[in-house]
Amino acid sequence: MRAALLASIALALTGCGGSDDSKVQPPPAPAPATAPATSAPEEPGRSAMEALIAFARAPSDEAWAAVPLADEVALGLADTLSPPRSRHVLRDPSSWRLAVDAFRGRAGTASALELIASEEGALRITHGPHPHCAAPPVPPPARAAALQRVVVQPSGPDGCLDWWTVDAFVTSEGRIRAVTLDLWEP
């Protein structure tokens, strides 16, 4: 039993290790029971995520104009969404902050934009279900399950504690209707 526990811990600790190079790495293999995440999200989902990344990293009026948000967007953590917020309210990057009482061992606030903006390494954009670092995928929020799931993550996190994901849920017209963030629990 102890050997199995130690093997599980070793697998979890090594399963998310990254490399020092800044090249885009292929996405990790998904859990067998899910459809694989691919490295080429369909348009217009990829364009929507690229615009969101550009706004997160340099929040200007020009960058904001390119972000294809729906009139109302729900923000959330993992598979849970908060009530929708107006597109106009979300122009202020601080309005993307979510109050966190207890989420993955953390408390305070969390922001999808701040996660993207703070990443110094290369980012990887994929779509569909994806592993939760060394764990099976987290399902999408029920209200967003029918939408295209476009994902941005660090391409080479140093381990699961450095892993995060921001998932945008995009309509067939290319409008972002929901955005979630997820982290690895310390």
Domains along the sequence of the chain with CATH? 35-183 (3.10.450)
Average pLDDT, the chain: 82
pTM score, whole prediction: 0.77
Amino acid, res. 98: L
Q: What per-residue confidence (pLDDT) applies to 186? A: 74
Environment class of 3 (CB within 10 Å of its CB; exposed 0-12, middle 13-18, buried 19+)? exposed
**Joined tokens for residue 178:** 């929901």
Secondary structure (3-state) at 97: strand
Give the pLDDT confidence score for residue 43 in this predicted structure.
Answer: 78
Element (H, E) at 129: none
Per-residue pLDDT, averaged over 83-91, amounts to: 97
* Residues 163, 157: Cα–Cα separation, whole Å: 6
Rounded Cα distance, 131 and 120, in Å: 22
Q: If we measure between CA atoms, which residue out of 129, 119, 127 comes closest to residue 163?
A: 119
Q: What is the pLDDT of residues 115-156, one digit of tens each?
A: 999 999 899 999 999 999 989 999 999 999 999 999 999 998
pLDDT confidence band for 36 (50 / 70 / 90): very low
Percent residues over pLDDT 90 in the chain: 70
**Per-residue pLDDT for 3 more than 80?**
no
Between CA 126 and CA 130 the distance in angstroms is: 9
Please provide residue 178's backbone torsions phi and psi, each rounded to the nearest 5 degrees: -155, 150
Print burial letters for 130-152: b (CB count within 10 Å at least 16), e (below 16).
bbbbbeebbebbeebeebbbbbb
pLDDT-based confidence at residue 47 (cuts at 50, 70, 90): very high
Neighbours of 36 (CB within 10 A): 14
**Is a pLDDT exceeding 90 seen at residue 38?**
no
Rounded CA gap, 57 and 155, in Å? 17
